[in-house]
Amino acid sequence: MFCICRRGDTATLLHSIGSHIALTALAAGINSARIATLHQCVWVYHITMTEQSSPQEVRDPWRSIRVDPETHVALWVQLKTQIQYLITTGAVDAHVKLPAVRTFANDLGIAVDTVRKAYEALQPSGLVRTVHGRGTFTFRPGEDDDQTSASQLEWNRVDHALLELAHSGVDLLGSGTRIAQRLSLLREGAGAVFVGVGASTERYAREISNALNLELPVRSVTLDDLRRNTADLANATYAICLVGHRNEVDNLLDGRPMRVLSITSSLPAGLLDPVPVSNNGNRVLLVARPETYANYLSIIRDQRPDLTDIDFVPDSDEDLLRERLDGADVVLHTSVAASIVARNATESHRLIELRHAAGTQSLNAIRDTFNADLSLLHELISPTTIAQAAPTQAH
């Protein structure tokens, strides 16, 4: 028996053919040994569906995902966190199809319901979308999609309408979030906040301010304060956040005259170069939140596959940290764990903070947005525009 299929569909085809052979053979009264012989008679030929084949196969981004049933973190949480990390760091592009639930479950050796629960838990963040009959696809809110194109078109139309109103002498005071944001630019000038989580919030704010190189101070606001409605948003006309927080920040700021922009982030290349090889007797300790452990372990081994012996300590267990620091040479820790590590480590320990850096491409996009908006602002407040917008006095 001969079959032709695309290379990526081989497993599905073989499974389907195998099931068909088994059912047909059993109905005909053929025993299991003979069925196995029939399976061996199936030959599958692949065809390439592109005009040119690549000399190297594209790496499957999902192969880096691992789950550990020995930890106290639920398997679906481990899976969800790793998928979320791959999307928000830009390791996986938007509109990439996630593995089928059953296939992923088989690959990871976990239950189908576990994979399904992880996929469903990702939906509220807007990082994945399920299309009926086609599967589940990655998505980055605010980036390169039909809704984003429509949103940008709306911004352009609002800008054009404001200029038309200004030139025609109509009062600029109006309603709507976008017009209100533009009016805030006119009243307050440009001001921005970075909305983040924990200790890294202030660092991201400084990093973005330096990278944009604009006369635009970026203040830090925690997501928790925004949730409690206690965040200081005075004079802020822009809110910048990580792409994984974009949907929530949009919802929390709904109705405010602010424009929300998002960035990706990842660990800088070469960050782990100073770490000596663990096989040479050097003990490496990783301090992080349990739910992020699998993510960090994956990216550490991507940069340094020779680091095979890494001990883990939750950043909430200071007693265990003191115990494990005895004999450790290198301590890799997250920004959130920086303070607890600093309190307990000694001068003999080499400390490396696993600091994520904002993606260059997303920073450039934000810079372009600011420049365009500031140009609009200058045009709206230019003497010519003001003169044309001023209402005429009746004589």
Mean pLDDT (the chain, rounded) = 79
Q: In the listed set 121, 138, 155, which residue is the last one of a domain according to the structure?
A: 138
**Calpha distance 62→91 (Å, rounded):** 10
Are residue 262 and residue 365 in the same domain, yes or no? yes
**Calpha distance 239→247 (Å, rounded):** 12
238 within 8 A of 190, measured Cβ to Cβ: yes
207-222 pLDDT, tens per residue?
899 888 766 679 999 9
Provide the residue type at 283 as one letter: R
Q: In the listed set 98, 119, 138, which residue is the last one of a domain according to the structure?
A: 138
In angstroms and rounded to an integer, the radius of gyration of the C-alpha atoms of the chain is 27
The CATH number linked to 297 is 3.40.50
Are residue 290 and residue 313 in the same domain, yes or no? yes
Q: CB atoms < 10 A from the CB of 326, how many?
A: 8
Are residue 288 and residue 342 in the same domain, yes or no? yes
**Calpha distance 320→25 (Å, rounded):** 59
Q: Is pLDDT at 204 greater than 60 in this prediction?
A: yes
Q: Is pLDDT at 110 greater than 60 in this prediction?
A: yes
Residue 253 located in a structural domain:
yes
Are residue 342 and residue 366 in the same domain, yes or no? no
Residues constituting the chain: 395
Report residue 255's pLDDT band, with 50, 70 and 90 as the boundaries: confident
Domain containing residue 348: 278-355
Are residue 302 and residue 189 in the same domain, yes or no? no
- For the ranges 80-84, 85-89, 142-146, 370-374, which has the lowest average pLDDT? 142-146
332 within 8 A of 315, measured Cβ to Cβ: no
pLDDT at residue number 278: 61
Residue 159 located in a structural domain:
no
pLDDT at residue number 138: 92
Q: Is pLDDT at 94 greater than 90 in this prediction?
A: no
Are residue 214 and residue 125 in the same domain, yes or no? no
Are residue 239 and residue 369 in the same domain, yes or no? yes
Are residue 66 and residue 123 in the same domain, yes or no? yes
Residue 145 located in a structural domain:
no
Tell me the DSSP string of 167-184: HHT------SHHHHHHHH
pLDDT at residue number 40: 41
Residue 12 located in a structural domain:
yes
Are residue 383 and residue 252 in the same domain, yes or no? yes
Sign of CA dihedral 36, 40, 41, 42: positive
**Calpha distance 253→233 (Å, rounded):** 10
Which residues share a beta bridge with 129?
Answer: 137
Residue 395 located in a structural domain:
no
pTM of model > 0.75: no
Q: CB atoms < 10 A from the CB of 91, how many?
A: 15
Q: CB atoms < 10 A from the CB of 49, how many?
A: 11
Which residues share a beta bridge with 242?
Answer: 263
Identify the residue whose tokens are 């927080």.
245
pLDDT at residue number 33: 41
Residue 158 located in a structural domain:
no
241 within 8 A of 262, measured Cβ to Cβ: yes
156-176 pLDDT, tens per residue?
887 887 787 778 876 665 446
Are residue 378 and residue 236 in the same domain, yes or no? yes
**Calpha distance 160→246 (Å, rounded):** 26
Are residue 351 and residue 282 in the same domain, yes or no? yes
In the chain, the number of structural domains is 4
Backbone φ and ψ of 337, nearest 5° = -90, 0
224-243 pLDDT, tens per residue?
999 999 999 988 889 999 99
**Calpha distance 17→317 (Å, rounded):** 52
pLDDT at residue number 146: 58
**Looking at per-residue confidence, does 48 or 105 come out higher?**
105
Residue 90's alpha-carbon distances to 179, 183, 222, in angstroms, are 32, 34, 23
Residue 373 DSSP symbol = H
**Looking at per-residue confidence, does 4 or 288 come out higher?**
288
Percent of the chain with pLDDT over 70: 76
Does residue 168 come out as left (phi exceeding 0), alpha (psi in the -120 to 50 range) or beta?
A: alpha
Are residue 185 and residue 262 in the same domain, yes or no? yes
